[in-house]
Amino acid sequence: MAKGLQNIHFTFGESGLTYFAGFPIIYQFAKALQLKRYLQMYLRLSHRNTYYHWADLLMCHFYFTVAGIERFDHLTTMKYNGLLPALTGLHRLPGARAMRDFLFGITPQDLSQIIKLHDTIRAKIFAYPVPLTTSIVDFDSSVLTVYGSQELAEVGYNPMKHGRASYHPIFGFESHLKISLNGELRAGNTRNRTEAIPFIKQALAKIPSTIAKSRIRVRCDAGFYCWNTIDFFNVEKYGFAMVAQVTPPIKAMLPGLRYHTFNHEQKLSAAQFRYKPHGWKEEQRFVVIRLPITRKSDSLESTLLTVDRYEYHVHVTNLQLDAENVWYFYKNRAATEINIKELKQDFFMGKIPTRNFAANQAHLNLLLLDYDLFRWFQLTCLPPEFQSKTLKWIRRNILTVPGKFITPGHQNILRFPKSFIQQQLFQQIYKNAQKMKPLLK
């Protein structure tokens, strides 16, 4: 029988060791873009730090997010990294206090600058690889449960943690490119849906003007269901499909509608009706999808209602599509749920960094900038068959590989393990990153 090691001797003091040997692909992407220089040229933030320039802090926020730092308190582990300080050019990486002070110091005027810079970067993403001719915009809301005394964290709708304080952020995404359009942190007890109108306008304004309104379609969850939102889409002539709130009058209609089966395998049936809810100025078209209740029924991406032996999913829409095609169109909005899930699990959006609401809002906007930069990296640097891989997959299979950084004869050499499985993919990504065109012309 084979035996393991019997005696182990330890030595300390080895330099250049890293568990992020794959990180040069991210660094090269940012370097080729001249991202740091771009930040220095187009931002004039009020934040002052005697050791770190705010452009360095913004870059580190991106690097830390991609590296998988869940909380700023975990940054102490980065102090011993033998590669990242050399890549960034910093003698030492900023710690938790420097990053929190940076968030606290971001003023509303600073945040406005960051958002505008994000818009210019997003415009570059929209143009690659070819400009879009159509666009699907998804609006969704989410819940971020908090476990401290964060400002404006209130008890509200929280299906996973009933009675816990939370934030209730809303997001806009472009479906084709899977990039964010905007995001806003809100108190957990926010219920006024009309407050979303300015948010919706801001998101739609970021769609390139080369795409006609008639070529833009919108999908919304039930958090946006109200007359003002629907009236806005109708007046501005945006096609939309939205989850409807099933009030008692609507619920009473459902069993008596005339349904037709359009999917025999899943036993899906569709119907439609026109209705003017209380307080609305005009009647609207409602689409209903019905399926038998079974133990294996999968919940669809909408408000679920059961009556007798059926599940019902109700949408309000102005699209000139058959009822079943409205459902198919809306069903694809599940990708937005995946985007938000990735923000929560891979970008650690749910790890609220401070007790200050303004600082937390700034952090959310920086996370969305990080998210879109990484998405741009996926689209431009990864081979097509890998572009759908999540940050978690990239981090686990490429970024977090052990290595040693050495500089013999003034050469920069990064040594990888012989068993590094993804070495060919790594080299291809690095070459693609070198070909990125700079943001500055």
CA dist., res. 272 & res. 248, Å (int): 17
The answer on pLDDT for 303 being more than 60 is no
Q: Is the pLDDT assigned to residue 304 strictly greater than 60?
A: no
Virtual torsion, Cα 332, 333, 335, 338, nearest 10 deg: -140
* pLDDT at residue number 77: 84
**Which of 148, 146, 208, 143 lies closest to 170, judged by CA?**
143
Q: Give the mean pLDDT of 160-175.
A: 88
In sign, the C-alpha dihedral spanning 111, 115, 116, 121 is positive
pLDDT tier for residue 140 given thresholds of 50, 70 and 90: very high
Tell me the two tokens of residue 377.
């990296």
pLDDT value of residue 284: 97
Residue 371's alpha-carbon distances to 26, 37, 279, 317, 356, in angstroms, are 13, 20, 39, 30, 22
Residue identified by tokens 């970008």 is 347
Q: How far apart are CA 76 and CA 93, in angstroms?
A: 9
Instruction: Tell me how many degrees the CA angle 343-349-351 measures, rounded to the nearest 5.
Output: 145
Average pLDDT, the chain: 91
Per the DSSP assignment, residues forming a β-bridge with 289 are 270, 313
Q: Using CA atoms, how far apart are residues 150 and 356, in angstroms rounded to an integer?
A: 6
Tens of pLDDT, residue by residue over 59-69, are 999 999 999 99
Cα(153)–Cα(357) distance, integer angstroms: 8
Q: Is 287 helix (H, G, I), strand (E, B) or coil?
A: strand
Averaged pLDDT, 210-222: 94
The candidate with the shortest Cα–Cα distance to 343, out of 193, 162, 178, is 178
- What is residue 11's DSSP assignment? -
pLDDT tens readout for residues 13-39: 788 889 999 999 999 999 999 999 999
CA-CA distance, 276 to 254, in Å (whole number)? 15
Look at residue 160 and tell me whether its pLDDT is greater than 80. Answer: no
Per-residue pLDDT tens for 328-353? 999 988 888 889 999 999 999 999 99
- 3-state SS assignment for residue 421: coil
Both tokens of 115, joined, read 């958002």
User: pLDDT, tens digit, for every residue of 396-409?
Assistant: 999 999 999 999 88
**Per-residue pLDDT reduced to its tens digit, 248-259:** 999 999 999 999
Q: Cα(109)–Cα(131) distance, rounded to whole angstroms?
A: 31
Which residue matches tokens 């970067």? 121
Token digits of residue 106? 């971001």
Nearest C-alpha neighbor of 440 from the set 36, 91, 125, 6: 36
